[in-house]
Chain A
Amino acid sequence: MQCETARFILELDLTRMGEADWRDLDAVEAHLQDCPDCQGWHLQRQAAENRMAQLMQNVPAIRFKHQNFQRDSHTEGRNWSRRLIPYGLVVAVILLIFSPMVFRQPAKPLDIELAAWIMREGFESSVDGPTADSRRLELERRFARIGVTTRLPDALDYSQLLFSGLVELQGHAVPQLVFSGSTGDWLTQVLVLDSRKFDLSSLPESIPTGLTSSEGTLLNADESGRFVALVVDGFRRKGPAGAKAAW
């Protein structure tokens, strides 16, 4: 394959075609392995694309949380946020004067029990139940069903899965899995991060977790390196929120 052809196909981003014809991609992969120029060009282009995606996602934080839309649909106020602006400004000034810490919000602790809201139905725990691998695929399908694309690491034992759900980290919905450990309250918590949404090189040194403080490890969740799993083991935290895991 010629360099020009390979670069043209890569520029087309065929992986974003959905149900596209993937035959050409194998040839492009082979070409990249043999051609250092194209390999360098491709890496640079990917980095620029990732940078653009990160910039595009860098927007101010939303100022309202889950509304009761069933109730709100019967009310007349459509542009409610504009009417709240004067009151909001007064509150903001008061907060600015008395509590500058408000604008340095700590990361939200990950509440394991609340995180399970999204996937309530559990897996059948019978001998004839799904295999660990089929559970992993089923979990990926469930996340996809609510619009969260992810790849879960296959190095984990999904037969030990306690529950799964979403947690909020740096403004993004992050898939979370919690596995039972070998003894008592010992748990393993896994967060799967998408490198297109997170700058993995600048993750904070510690992330709040529902477990007692312990060391965490990083695990590649897929071959492309796009998804990375943060794995932390520990006892279930029973005290006040705020325990952190160091990576």
Chain B
Amino acid sequence: MADITELAKAHQQSLFRYAFRLTGQTADAEDLVQETFLQANRKISSVKDLGAIKNWLFTILRNQHLMNLRQRGNKPLESIEDLPDCAVQPIRPEGVHDSELLQQLLMEMPEGYRTPLILFYLEDFSYRDISEQMGIPIGTVMSRLARAKDWIRARYPVDSIMNQSPIREER
């Protein structure tokens, strides 16, 4: 049986990055990771496939996040088309750090599109992994990813900043 402390050592950083991109807040992300490991500790005896343990932890974290959203009365947008059709301005606003701008855009995106995009870029998850974590077909993952990428590229000047200096370390 997997040991929860070892799991925490191995996965807390990547789970925190996921939680931060989902919530946009450091304190919320830390709470989410904490709640994830507490839940994992309660259910760890039921884990049979150690190879899928990372997927399992990420699934717990997302479910907890969705539950938190529901408890706060946040009604998530269903579709990317629900977003107001603001003027597309693919230029970084002055004084806004790349990572912050990316986070702002992620928070505008419906959860069903934001999650696969984060999982795709943040960790090396396959479409199948994402599909299992979200409980949706692989085809839906691929189409949501494609639309989310198009949406974010239209608003985020990733190509124009490619030759700029490396990312500033946030502390």
Q: Do A and B bind each other?
A: yes
Interface residues of A (CB under 8 A from B): 11-12, 16-19, 44, 47-49, 51-70, 72-73, 78-82, 85, 103, 105, 117-118, 144-149, 166, 168, 170-173, 194, 196, 199, 201-202
Chain B interface: which size bin? 35 or more
Q: Tell yes or no: B34 within 8 A of A by CB.
A: yes
Given A57-B122, A202-B166: A48 in contact with B10 (beta carbons within 8 A): no
Q: Can you name 11 A-B residue pairings with CB atoms under 8 Å? A: A16-B125, A54-B167, A56-B118, A58-B98, A59-B170, A60-B20, A60-B171, A62-B30, A70-B5, A81-B27, A81-B34
Which single member of B13, B122, B146, B162 contacts A173 (CB below 8 Å)? B13
Tell me which residues across on chain A come within 8 A of B155, comparing CB atoms: none
Tell me which residues across on chain A come within 8 A of B125, comparing CB atoms: 16
Given A56-B102, A78-B35: A63 in contact with B21 (beta carbons within 8 A): no
Q: Which residue of A lies closest to B119 (CB)?
A: A56
Asked whether, in the complex, the Cβ of B31 is within 8 Å of the Cβ of A78, the reply is yes
Give the dominant DSSP class at B's interface: helix
Which single member of B6, B38, B102 contacts A117 (CB below 8 Å)? B6
Which single member of A11, A18, A145 contacts B51 (CB below 8 Å)? A145
Report the minimal beta-carbon distance from B7 to chain A, rounded to whole angstroms: 8
Q: Tell yes or no: B140 within 8 A of A by CB.
A: no
Could you list 15 further interchain pairs (A-B, Cβ under 8 angstroms) beyond the known A57-B17, A148-B10? Answer: A11-B146, A17-B138, A59-B99, A62-B12, A62-B16, A63-B26, A66-B9, A73-B41, A81-B30, A105-B171, A117-B9, A144-B51, A145-B50, A147-B53, A173-B10
Asked whether, in the complex, the Cβ of A59 is within 8 Å of the Cβ of B30, the reply is no
Which single member of B37, B124, B128 contacts A17 (CB below 8 Å)? B128
Tell me which residues across on chain A come within 8 A of B128, comparing CB atoms: 17-19
Interface residues of B (CB under 8 A from A): 4-6, 8-14, 16-17, 20-21, 26-27, 29-31, 33-35, 37-38, 40-42, 50-51, 53-54, 98-99, 102, 118, 120-122, 124-129, 138, 142, 146, 158-159, 161-162, 166-171
Asked whether, in the complex, the Cβ of B34 is within 8 Å of the Cβ of A17, the reply is no
Q: Which residue of B lies closest to A54 (CB)?
A: B167
Which single member of A18, A52, A59, A166 contacts B10 (CB below 8 Å)? A166
Report the minimal beta-carbon distance from B144 to chain A, rounded to whole angstroms: 13
Given A82-B31, A147-B53: A66 in contact with B12 (beta carbons within 8 A): yes
Tell me which residues across on chain A come within 8 A of B124, comparing CB atoms: 149, 194, 196
Q: Which residue of A lies closest to B164 (CB)?
A: A51
Q: Which residue of A lies closest to B38 (CB)?
A: A73
Tell me which residues across on chain B come within 8 A of A60, comparing CB atoms: 20, 26, 170-171
Tell me which residues across on chain B come within 8 A of A166, comparing CB atoms: 10
Which single member of B14, B30, B162 contacts A51 (CB below 8 Å)? B162
CA distance A199 to B163 in the complex (A): 12
CA distance A148 to B41 in the complex (A): 21
Among A47, A57, A117, the most chain B Cβ lie within 10 Å of the Cβ of: A57
Report the minimal beta-carbon distance from A82 to chain B, rounded to whole angstroms: 6
Asked whether, in the complex, the Cβ of A67 is within 8 Å of the Cβ of B16, the reply is no
CA distance A147 to B38 in the complex (A): 19
Which single member of A17, A47, A53 contacts B162 (CB below 8 Å)? A47
Asked whether, in the complex, the Cβ of B8 is within 8 Å of the Cβ of A66, the reply is yes
Report the minimal beta-carbon distance from B150 to chain A, rounded to whole angstroms: 10
Q: Which residue of B lies closest to A171 (CB)?
A: B13
Which single member of B26, B37, B54, B168 contacts A147 (CB below 8 Å)? B54
CA distance A109 to B10 in the complex (A): 18
Asked whether, in the complex, the Cβ of B171 is within 8 Å of the Cβ of A53, the reply is no
CA distance A202 to B166 in the complex (A): 7
CA distance A68 to B6 in the complex (A): 10
CA distance A17 to B13 in the complex (A): 25
